[in-house]
Amino acid sequence: MIRAQDMDLVVVNGNIYTVNEKQPHAEAFAVRDQRIAFVGSTADVQKLRSANTRVIDLGGKTVVPGLTDSHCHIFGIGEREMRLNLEGTNSLQDFLAKVKERVSHTEKGKWITGRGWIETFWKPAEFPSRQDLDKVAPDNPVFLTRADGHASVVNSAALKIAKIDKNTPNPFGGQISKTNGEPNGMLLDNAQDLAAKHVPKPTEAEREQALLLGINREIGLGWCEIQNAGSDKEDIKLIKTAFADGKIKIRFINAVYGPGEDAQNFLASGPTIDAFNHHFTQRTIKIIFDGALGSRGAALLKPYNDAPDASGFLTERPEELRPLFEEALRRGIQVETHAIGDRANRIILDLYDQAFKAVPPEERKIRDPRWRVEHAQIVNPADIPRFAKLGVIPSMQPSHAISDLFFAPARLGMDRLADAYPWQSFLKSGCIIAGGSDAPVERGEPMIEFYAAIARKSIKGESGEGWHPEQAVSREQALKMFTLWPAYAAFEEKDKGSIEPGKLADFTVLSQDIMRIPDPEILKTRAAMTVIGGEVVFQR
Ligand SMILES: [Zn+2]
């Protein structure tokens, strides 16, 4: 029964894209007890107002269901704001100038850490070296992570502290990059830990600051939900405490890193679903299975086009994942695995398939486990249909394509580019795609992701040979990638992902109509309002 005196909020005079196929467009809706009660015309919804009902008059503005970032790293987003932010450095000189500036007001001997550089935009497009850093930072150990998080450059002082020299063996799943037999300062994937473990850990207060800074940024961008792609037990404790203290308003889906002790504890204690009034769910284990394309760590079926001796590497041993996967199925835990290269994608599908066969539906806590592959960037055409067949969801970040396609032709060669960032091939095979940003690897802005998905051009409008514009998606598909499909990928399609009666009143108000304006205008669009459970949590 819908009665005006029960309505907490009415939203009227909007241009509302509901993502509900039965009623795709509307002008207005009414909210009761944090959920949508009615969707229709402004005239009908006005009748549902009582004296106590709040009113949001949109004045024609565009509304979409609450946007979800299906893959981000919330502490990293906050830390990017707090540390040396190297995003957008256009040359080695620019990069070194930023380091030098930081050195000038850092005590001698103290570590300098930062993130965000990408050498592919520099001329020449070469990795920085320890010698470069030594020139500007002779007395401070320096540890600077590439934007993708899969490589870092350190200086000689850091190598010395980490006791890395020409005789240090490569760790499993990592590489100490060398020039003429001597470490050159670049540490790839698991080799980063050799130096990272010597960097003083941030205090708990600093970690909390990073979490809250990160969330504040997300809400201001229009994100109503984040799906955090991995956390350890300290992170989990901080997140839960911040929720208990009422400091977090965003909806938060959390994954726990595995394999290892944290994942084992999580398997034993079981999932947390809809805690803190439907704001926090933790039901997923996150595995990292290979490196990234930029640093040639992505595991490929054939060698890199620009490094014939390299074909990347797996960062976990497949046989060690098998028992974990089977246990996860029995206990109703979702698995999401980072797999970028075509070899990593093939092997992870094999492992998922084997686990599904070993633990048939009647032995699972959840029959349809909705396991995910994070990134699924380079997928052999033979493996594309296996996703839909196995019910595995590719979780993809459109901005990766428009960043990587500048160097992907060199890494992969023209032939394999047909298999890279294959959004439309996935959709045609019967998959859904959970859309995300992978921030802080990318900027993490919903309008950049939406634009990248539909335009498949750089933010300056560039395209090039091998960019495969036919893999771009329609605006309707892109909207689903950031609303309904992430909801499904988190088992939440009954509560989230569209504006329809019964669902939580999560929505994002935008400054422009992203379903109609020319492509470049999308990048100028901003969140005007972010509303979660009927509560305005951000307003410009
Ligand atoms: Zn990630």
The CA angle 175-180-185, to the nearest 5 degrees, is 45
Task: Determine the pLDDT at residue 398.
Answer: 98
CA of 73 to the centre of ligand 1 (A): 6
CA of 145 to the centre of ligand 1 (A): 14
CA of 134 to the centre of ligand 1 (A): 30
Q: At what angle do helices 74-82 and 204-221 cross, to 10 degrees?
A: 100
Q: What tokens appear for 83 in the block?
A: 């540390």
CA of 71 to the centre of ligand 1 (A): 6
> Is 395 strand, coil or helix?
strand
Task: Determine the pLDDT at residue 81.
Answer: 83
CA of 303 to the centre of ligand 1 (A): 24
- The answer to whether residues 78 and 32 touch, using CB atoms and an 8 Å cutoff, is no
CA of 440 to the centre of ligand 1 (A): 8
Task: Determine the pLDDT at residue 188.
Answer: 95
CA of 431 to the centre of ligand 1 (A): 21
Name the pLDDT band for 463 (thresholds 50, 70, 90).
Answer: very high
CA of 288 to the centre of ligand 1 (A): 9
pLDDT 10s digits, 148-176? 888 999 999 999 999 999 999 999 999 99
Q: What tokens appear for 464 in the block?
A: 């090039």
DSSP 163: T
Alpha carbons 87 and 117: distance in angstroms, whole number: 6
CA of 208 to the centre of ligand 1 (A): 20
What are the counts of helices (DSSP H) followed by strands (DSSP E) for the chain?
20, 25
Cα→Cα distances 364→310, 322, 328, 330, 498, Å: 39, 15, 9, 4, 29
CA of 75 to the centre of ligand 1 (A): 12
Name the pLDDT band for 468 (thresholds 50, 70, 90).
Answer: very high
- The answer to whether residues 226 and 255 touch, using CB atoms and an 8 Å cutoff, is no
Residue 503 has pLDDT above 80, yes or no: yes
| Mean pLDDT confidence for 460-483 | 96
Residue 88 has pLDDT above 90, yes or no: no
Order the strands of the 25-26 sheet from edge to edge.
Answer: 25-26, 15-17, 62-65, 507-510, 527-532, 535-539
CA of 193 to the centre of ligand 1 (A): 17
CA of 339 to the centre of ligand 1 (A): 10
Q: What tokens appear for 182 in the block?
A: 């001597």
Q: What tokens appear for 232 in the block?
A: 């350890």
CA of 415 to the centre of ligand 1 (A): 26
> Is 297 strand, coil or helix?
coil
CA of 392 to the centre of ligand 1 (A): 18
Average pLDDT over the chain, rounded to an integer: 96
Task: Determine the pLDDT at residue 87.
Answer: 86
Name the pLDDT band for 210 (thresholds 50, 70, 90).
Answer: very high
| Mean pLDDT confidence for 109-118 | 93
| Mean pLDDT confidence for 241-253 | 98
Residue 242 has pLDDT above 90, yes or no: yes
CA of 29 to the centre of ligand 1 (A): 35
Give the global pTM: 0.90
pLDDT 10s digits, 114-137? 999 999 889 998 999 999 999 999
Alpha carbons 129 and 296: distance in angstroms, whole number: 17
Tokens 């052999």 belong to: 380
CA of 130 to the centre of ligand 1 (A): 26
Residue 1 has pLDDT above 80, yes or no: no
